Amino acid sequence: MPAPVPAHPKGKPGTTPEALLRRVYPPMLATLAAEVPAPFSDWSFELKYDGFRALTGIASGRVALWSRNQLDLAPRFSAIASSLRELRAREAVLDGEVAALDAKGVPRFGLLQEGTHPLIYFVFDLLWLDGDDLRARPLEERRQLLKQVLAKAPPDLQLSIEITGDHVRWMKQAAAKGFEGLLAKRKGSTYESRRSGAWLKLKARHEQELAIVGFEPSTAAPKQIGSLLLAYAEGRRLIFAGKVGTGFTLAKRAELFAKLQPSVSAVPSAENAPRMKTAVWVKPKLVAQVEFSNWTSDGMVRQASFQGLRDDKKPLEAKKE
């Protein structure tokens, strides 16, 4: 059993939360998988949350909340940052996902854009605690210590939900309820600052981050987009992946039109981009989250719906999954 959280933490005075986060970056990433290698008893399972990956540093009475690309998320999620200051730890680094819940309690990435729904920081790992680097410790020990840290946390800070029983049945239930899927983590594994096969993501629905490489103007209103033109990354190249024309509010269509104007380009930045009379190509600077039915045989997203912008991701991180 791991040692309990000390009543008088031994964290080093003067350490900043930003310095703690730099010690552990980059965060561990999961590998997409269609199934989990047998035996299933070697794996633990958690619900996968459709939100913003966020790592927290706590030190010297201060909190830093960073995206995986070290963007400062504290101003955007100020209530979460305020709750984190109440945790009983002099020094800590937490890993988790900030999610917005719909009326049924299901995380929806698109709701993060609206800013009108309850936000929960689902924490799934503890990397540092009061002077001790925990990354080399087994998964189960880190989670047990995390439970202690979150024992009296405010309600918007929650431990990620661990799945027990048949994970295949849970996947079906997750798909039916609208959850993104499950995360499988190899028991006894350490925390690695890279994409690792010790963490597997099992998706219950098709969702993808794609670079925005252009748009088609709306035919119904001026200064609005009608659809976004998309691409995925292969190394340093972008490959055209089709377009998305649904899932936008009128306000979002106008907002995207304005955002893309400074990036207009005479030529497409994506390979295999078709000749389109109505296309306005842009330099890739923004990333869209898109839900879709499937990939077509020629590599296009089919029946795509816009979920929101991923300002925590860069275009060349939008790999085809």
Q: pLDDT band for position 5 (50/70/90)? A: very low
In the DSSP assignment, the letter for residue 13 is T
Residues 52 and 156 in one domain: yes
**Confidence category of residue 77, pLDDT binned at 50, 70, 90:** very high
- What is the tens place of the pLDDT at every residue in 267-313? 999 999 999 999 999 999 999 999 888 888 888 998 899 999 998 88
| CATH code where residue 177 lies | 3.30.470.30
Residue 3 lies inside a defined structural domain of this protein: no
Average pLDDT over residues 106-113: 84
Contact (Cβ atoms closer than 8 angstroms) between residue 158 and residue 146: no
Among 168, 183, 203, give the residue marking a domain's end: 203
pLDDT at residue 2, as a whole number: 52
Same domain? For 180 and 301 the reply is: no
**Mean pLDDT estimate for the chain:** 91
User: In the prediction, which pLDDT does 14 show?
Assistant: 66
Q: Which one is predicted more confidently, 103 or 248?
A: 248
Q: Taking CA 156 as the corner, what is the angle to CA 85 and CA 313, rounded to the nearest 5 degrees? A: 85
* CA distance to 239, 269, 279, per residue, from 266 (Å): 17, 9, 10
Whether 48 is catalytic is yes
pLDDT for the residue 92: 97
**Co-location of 156 and 247 in the same domain:** no
- pLDDT the model gives residue 118: 85
CA–CA separation, 243 vs 228, rounded Å? 5
Sequence-distant (6+) residues with CB within 8 A of 312 are 52, 53, 67, 68, 69, 71, 73
Residue tagged active-site, from 10, 48, 185, 223: 48
Q: Is pLDDT above 50 for 8?
A: no
Type of residue at 21: L
What is the span of the domain harbouring residue 276? Answer: 207-317
Q: Is the pLDDT of residue 9 over 50?
A: no
**CA 279, 301, 228 angle in degrees (round to 5)?**
30
Q: What's the pLDDT score for residue 13? A: 55
Of 203, 235, 254, which one is at a domain's C-terminal end? 203
Q: Is the pLDDT of residue 142 over 50?
A: yes
Q: Does residue 165 sit within a domain?
A: yes
Domain boundary pick from 203, 238, 255 = 203
The answer, yes or no, to whether residue 113 has pLDDT greater than 90, is no
Q: How much of the chain, in percent, has pLDDT values that exceed 90?
A: 72
| pLDDT tens by residue, 207-248 | 889 999 999 999 999 999 999 999 999 999 999 999 999 999
| pLDDT (mean) for 115-131 | 93
The pLDDT assigned to 12 comes to 55
